[in-house]
Amino acid sequence: MLREKLKDYNVILASGSPRRQEFFKDLNIDFTIELKEVAEVYPKELKGCEITDFLADLKSKAFTNLSEKDLLITSDTIVWLDGKALGKPKNAADAFSMLSALSGKKHEVITSISIKSKYFQKIISDTTIVSFNNITDEEINYYIKNYKPFDKAGAYGIQEWIGLIGINNIEGSYFNVVGLPVHKLYKELMNL
């Protein structure tokens, strides 16, 4: 269905995330992957989805020569805890610090998507509330050692071991926590 809708577009996914790429395959979209280095720096006064909107847009601005048929998809995800954004951990100590902070608390996972052509741009976002059980230092260390979550906002993947044992409730889209609010992306692409 979506493949037919997008047949006149050259869909470009600007993401190295294997999870996002898998979602595009599952949606049966013909797409190519193009990556450009972008320093993911945002103004410090931004909060919550303002950050992810800004970063999704910033990533799209790296593509300066879109053709008439190009449809560029960029996105960004953060974990929002106690008024602070948790991005990807720099190392094991950073991952441990993030997971310790998430233990026993609720946080928000916020993802923004930029859909951009030569003629228009639309940015959409989604927020999911995730509740963690109390997790022990031993469990955190086991997860970091075995799953190396350094490419994930907040240092965890809900679909991995830590999600199985640590998450007791979510309010909103599971797929948003994995890395893309697929239901919202689908709706926007069908409305093109």
Q: Which residues are catalytic?
A: 76
Distance of CA 3 to the CA centre of its chain: 23
Buried b (16+ CB within 10 A) or exposed e, 14-52: bbebebbeebbeebebebeeeeeeeeeebeeeeeebbbb
Going by C-alpha positions, the residue among 187, 4, 11 that lies closest to residue 116 is 11
Residue 176 identity: N
Q: What is the DSSP letter of 134?
A: P
12 neighbors 63 (Cβ within 8 angstroms): yes
